Structure 1
Amino acid sequence: MAECCLKILAQNGVADKITVIPKRSTEIKVGESGDMKEKANILVTEVFDTELIGEGALSTFSHAHKYLLEEDCIVVPDSAVIYAQVVECDTLQRWNKINDFAVPKLDLTLKTPQKMKDCPGSAAVHDLQLSQLPRSSFRELSDQIPVFYYDWSGKLPLDFNKTVKQAFTASANGKAQMVFMWWELNMDTEERPQDSIPWRDHWMQAVYYLPQELDLVKDTEATLVSCQDEYSLWFYLENGDTKKHYKRPICECGMHMALSRTHVSYLNDSSRRLKFANKLKQELTTNSIVLDINGSFLLGLFAAKMAKTVYIVENTKLNLQIIEDYIKENSIDNVQIIPEVNDDVLKEVTNVICDPNFTSAILPWENHKIAYLLYKHKSSLREGLSIVPEGFEFWAMPVELLNLQKIRVPLEKCEGINMSVFDDLVESSRIISDAEVEAQPLWEYPENPSESKEPHEPVNGFALWAVWKVGEDQSTGPIRPPTVGDWVEWDPHTRQAVKIL
């Protein structure tokens, strides 16, 4: 990057005015024989991420003020404020906790183990484009609360570990499930508000799931406990009971370590669950011997409620523990977990089932693993075998991406500075390291379907997804048929493949 910077300076005719030091700022020495002859009186830097402090901003600024800057220096940005808001949102909670698997129409229930319900979950930030979350899907239970203030100018010390308790009055009745977090930078001491906020995919809003839900009553008081270490944040909520500690929450049930947030939401998708349950009900009898070749969806445990015996193929330690916990919670006694398929099992099997969402899969076609496994063992499978899903299709659609394409668009000129050298570096690196097609949660990124036949229709990408046949179609792409020129409503429980042109 230092070499790239030198080339950019030369290309823009300012190489004689700027000195590049190819070191981390924490390695720079000041003095006659050092990298800088004297301390600086102005600092301009950007060392922030979604959590504000996750890239080491606290240590970077602290070191700079101690070793690199004059006492009465100017710092840009001058300060920052982190805001939090207590929220009820069942939609996002489905990315955090697995609900009971209940299909009342078929009298089927699979209880979630109590330890998973009680688990505080992962403290890791859930960053997403909150602007795409439907306004009707969440309820604010507090006003926005400024929880942390950071003075980058050096006038106030920066705390590397801090816990702040703030009482607030609940603005509505509801179940406090999470905290929405965002931050603001003040470029100078005047703290002028920004008129508009441009789209971005690097500083997004954040969701922090509370370790336990708490019922709040409008106009009553509760306490938000905001915690910070050098690199991260986490939150607790109290309504009178005193906590013994405010340690960073960690998963105690294994589920939050084994499954991604998207996979957890996938498991909670009741529409998808009903389609698979209906198909199983049609295919299985009390004499069925079932082989489930993807244990991570728990489809085999559903099948156990209807079949004689179920073999579940799973060899991942964390997934094994989840399955065993479900078996114990639901008193299931007709399931055998096997590390791999063998001929003895295949000779018995009357039905093969597989949820097409492997935890190891990233792109839609990587769930094609089901076809590979069936082909691999086809010589050992009996004739007339029932298979769920029955088949699949891959679909593609040209789209007009409104913002996502910006992650690939060259900078060209920024504020009058020619950045073509940087563009060339990024493009050459991208060709080496980036896939041409990548997985993206398209529900977070608005786009229009385009007709490539029309020359005036802007097409800057393609979206690709799978449609699985489970008696009826189960799409991992648009949840409703798209119309040219309208917004596409994407399945939020899977990631689609995207090719940016």
Structure 2
Amino acid sequence: MVFLTPNRRLISSARLLSASRSAPRLGLALARAMSSGSAQRVFQLRLDPLTGNSEWVVIEEDARETAPESLHKGLLATTSYLDMLNDSRRNRAFREAIDKAIAGPCRVLDIGAGTGLLSMMAARAMTLRDTPTCHNNNGSVIACESYLPMVKLMRKVLRVNDMARSITVLNKRSDEVRVGVDIDSRADVLVSEILDSELLGEGLIPTLQHAHDMLLVENPVTVPYKAIVYGQLVESTYLWKLHDLYNNEAEISDGIHLVPAGLERIIGVKLQQHPMHCDAIKQEIKLLSEPFRIFEFNFGKRPESHGETAVRVKATGSGQVNAVISWWMLQLDDKGSIHYSTAPKWIALSGAGNWCDHWKQCVWFIPGKGVPLARDEEIFLCAAHGDTSISYQLEPHQPKSTGVDHNVKGGDFCLSLSPERIAIYGDAEWRLSVLNAIKAVLQRRAPSLCIIADDSIFLALLVAHLSIASHIMVLFPGLQDKGVHYLKAVADANGFSMDCIEFVRKKMANWTVHDTHKKAVDLLIAEPFYYGSDGMLPWQNLRFWNERTALDSLLSKDASIMPCKGLLKVCAMSLLDLWNSRRSLDKIEGFDHSVVNATLGACGDAADGGPCLPFFIWQCGEVKELSQIVTVMEFDFSRPISPCQGKAKVEFSERGICHGLVLWIDWVMDAENSIVVSTGPDQRYWKQGVKLLSTPVAAGFHGSADTSETSSLIVQTSFDPSNGELVIEHRPS
């Protein structure tokens, strides 16, 4: 079975779980396209961030194509389509290559057609040439797109560009297309862009395999022609902290051992390539090698599912290899004159253009403190690829990975966390803040019953270590059994017995006094952190408030709640690169795309500037703070969850162009307001919410003679606990 996510990700059922965890960025866990007779429908799994519940939402084909615009706007406005369509360098490269590849009428297949841009380029190219060079004189273009909301949008684009009769749209996965049923004959030309930052993650290899087996002629023309994966060895303290909790924790003396000696592999990042804008940490990277070629994939040939290579790499400097940074380069034409690269800007002749978010570089972490290298020393990098991923191994220093074994006593159990979560747990300042907050609570009274409401293994260890007499109930809503296995493995090293810890599977909304053994809850705590929610908006962690409310009748009269409250912070910023990547579209290589702006939530076209999206601000290219940070709303966790409204005046303190508002939550951990954990832009391990302005504002100062400048903005917010949505409005003051 194959599943489809809204940002065009084709994944096998084996990758379903990881896909569902990456989907909070989209607001939807996953989608499945199905056929029922002549009607097409898509099942979307919609997640409720405040409850953790999910429900299937059915989207059906409207034969008249007159469904309300609002039906699909929410589905597509948080995808990467807009960012990709604003990538002028990409668009130009594909147009030039398609114009060269198609020399007359032929049969063209576009897999993962999206808005139909490449299909329209191919159809136009056919009309510009007189002499056919393909297998027959009957030209046709088949646009294959499996995601129904995008198919609807594509048809609008085709009509606006008078291309509806020139292109046949198939609302199917390419592996469902049959020659003689869906298309008349095999295609002479394949135009397709189903690439992610790693290159293979969108299913490039299985898609090409099926296309060559069933849909393409022998030796077809393809755009792109081939792709080459490159890598570079680097040293970076920042990258090291994202994966090596054991050695970072060794420098912290707070008595808590998340990774005890002898259990170095108990916590780690998933062995995969992690997309990242590496230009943002250029000053924190020491290059230890020249770029080297790893794999080459020829789109005109049927690829193998598995491949291995060993690259001899010569060190250009001395240091610790903490990571392999990789990227890819497309050669779009067979002559090698048209290229597109995702290389970082420090690579000479990379052809780097404007900042974009749909493709980044990838980071592969080298275990532990890394591999030491001396200048001019040679080392082998062993690389292997499967259908959807590439992995690396440094030889002979790096030990072979043995995978994950759930035998805790054997020490091989590994709890996989995100790189940012690893770094947070290894951050001495963050740990000290949480430790002090817990100690302050325990000094007032030793709780008889403590509940850890979220997935924080750190809090569970902390309370168990500091309050041996307390009975601790852990929910671990995301970690589930994995969290319990972990606690069992590290209990002895942290000086507590698992007898004091109880794992509860039951959702808090259904609890009664019997679930708490007729005890009142004295201490309810969270970071808050919910496993798998790394890509969500900051206020979606207010799930803690919702769960605190469900437990209201079971709390003691003087129960301690941590955090005590949340402060919604806002700062006006210049976000030139991010705004440009999501700006409204006009013509792309001659094709009108203005019809997609409202649906994709474009800036400059949508009245509200599009949806609020989560980003690591420090990775968003050119950014600058233009105002002081102000509190716009407060969430009081001592009371049950309720609708909230806030209003604040954001005064500009720097001149510049304001492109948007950046929002986050600071968690007040104690009743004295003395311990605050911020998740703002200066904290690189959390994503912030970004509300881009429909039209940028020239920021000035109060009393400025320049009438084109604005001295401040009025920001109003409202929080709806029924759906977890935060409405953000703004106007010049």
Q: TM-score, normalised by structure 1?
A: 0.79
Partner residue of 2:485?
Answer: 321
8 Å contact 1:310–1:335 — kept in the other structure? Answer: no
Structure with the bigger RCO (C-alpha within 8 Å, sep 6+) is: 1
Deviation at 1:163, TM superposition (A): 0.9
The amino acid across from 2:364 in the alignment is Y
Deviation at 1:417, TM superposition (A): 0.6
8 Å contact 1:164–1:225 — kept in the other structure? Answer: yes
Deviation at 1:272, TM superposition (A): 0.9
Partner residue of 1:166?
Answer: 311
Matched, 1:206 2:362: yes
Matched, 1:262 2:420: yes
Counterparts of 2:158 and 2:318, CA distance in 1: 57
Deviation at 1:82, TM superposition (A): 0.2
8 Å contact 1:437–1:499 — kept in the other structure? Answer: yes
Partner residue of 1:309?
Answer: 469
Question: Relative to 1, partners in 2 of residues 1:105 and 1:339: Cα closer, same or farther, differing over 3 Å?
Answer: closer
Partner residue of 1:498?
Answer: 690
- Map 1:400-415 onto structure 2 (within 5 A): 400-405=574-579, 408-415=582-589
Counterparts of 2:443 and 2:498, CA distance in 1: 14
The amino acid across from 2:678 in the alignment is T
Q: Deviations over 1:223-251 (max 9, x none)?
A: 111001111111111127996xx88x557
Q: Deviations over 1:380-433 (max 9, x none)?
A: 5254x66554544221223332233456433232112111333455459xx9xx
Matched, 1:50 2:197: yes
Counterparts of 2:186 and 2:498, CA distance in 1: 76
Q: Deviations over 1:160-179 (max 9, x none)?
A: 21111122223333333332
Q: Deviations over 1:243-299 (max 9, x none)?
A: 6xx88x557655544x33332222122211122223445554598347352461423
The amino acid across from 1:356 in the alignment is P
8 Å contact 1:98–1:117 — kept in the other structure? Answer: no
Deviation at 1:465, TM superposition (A): 1.4
Deviation at 1:66, TM superposition (A): 4.7
Calculate percent identity across the aligned residue pairs: 23
Partner residue of 1:184?
Answer: 329
- Map 1:21-36 onto structure 2 (within 5 A): 21-28=170-177, 35-36=183-184
Counterparts of 1:67 and 1:352, CA distance in 2: 58
Deviation at 1:339, TM superposition (A): 3.8
Question: Relative to 1, partners in 2 of residues 1:101 and 1:274: Cα closer, same or farther, differing over 3 Å?
Answer: farther
Partner residue of 1:217?
Answer: 373
| 2:615 counterpart (417, 435, 440) | 440
Question: Relative to 1, partners in 2 of residues 1:309 and 1:102: Cα closer, same or farther, differing over 3 Å?
Answer: farther
Partner residue of 1:484?
Answer: none
Matched, 1:93 2:240: yes
Partner residue of 1:275?
Answer: 433
8 Å contact 1:394–1:467 — kept in the other structure? Answer: yes
Counterparts of 2:172 and 2:586, CA distance in 1: 26
Partner residue of 2:228?
Answer: 81
Deviation at 1:72, TM superposition (A): 5.4
Counterparts of 2:405 and 2:578, CA distance in 1: 32
RMSD between aligned residues = 3.9
Counterparts of 1:151 and 1:360, CA distance in 2: 35
Counterpart secondary structure, 2:491 = helix
| 1:336 counterpart (500, 506, 510) | 500
Question: Relative to 1, partners in 2 of residues 1:109 and 1:19: Cα closer, same or farther, differing over 3 Å?
Answer: closer
| 1:449 counterpart (625, 630, 652) | 625
Extract unaligned runs of 5+ from structure 2. 1-149, 340-349, 407-411, 505-514, 628-649, 694-733
Question: Relative to 1, partners in 2 of residues 1:413 and 1:255: Cα closer, same or farther, differing over 3 Å?
Answer: farther
Counterpart secondary structure, 1:99 = helix
Matched, 1:465 2:664: yes
Partner residue of 1:476?
Answer: 678
Counterparts of 1:224 and 1:162, CA distance in 2: 14
Counterpart secondary structure, 1:82 = strand
8 Å contact 1:309–1:334 — kept in the other structure? Answer: no
Counterpart secondary structure, 2:571 = strand
Deviation at 1:205, TM superposition (A): 1.0
8 Å contact 1:353–1:388 — kept in the other structure? Answer: yes
Deviation at 1:332, TM superposition (A): 2.3
Counterpart secondary structure, 2:393 = strand
The amino acid across from 1:227 in the alignment is A
Partner residue of 2:18?
Answer: none
Q: More displaced, 105-114 or 316-325?
A: 105-114
8 Å contact 2:252–2:428 — kept in the other structure? Answer: no
The amino acid across from 2:312 in the alignment is A
The amino acid across from 1:12 in the alignment is N
The amino acid across from 1:117 in the alignment is R
Partner residue of 2:393?
Answer: 236
Question: Relative to 1, partners in 2 of residues 1:108 and 1:422: Cα closer, same or farther, differing over 3 Å?
Answer: same
Matched, 1:227 2:384: yes
Counterpart secondary structure, 1:277 = helix
Count of equivalent residues = 474
Deviation at 1:81, TM superposition (A): 0.5
8 Å contact 1:262–1:494 — kept in the other structure? Answer: yes
The amino acid across from 2:352 in the alignment is S
Counterparts of 1:9 and 1:166, CA distance in 2: 46
Question: Relative to 1, partners in 2 of residues 1:103 and 1:392: Cα closer, same or farther, differing over 3 Å?
Answer: farther
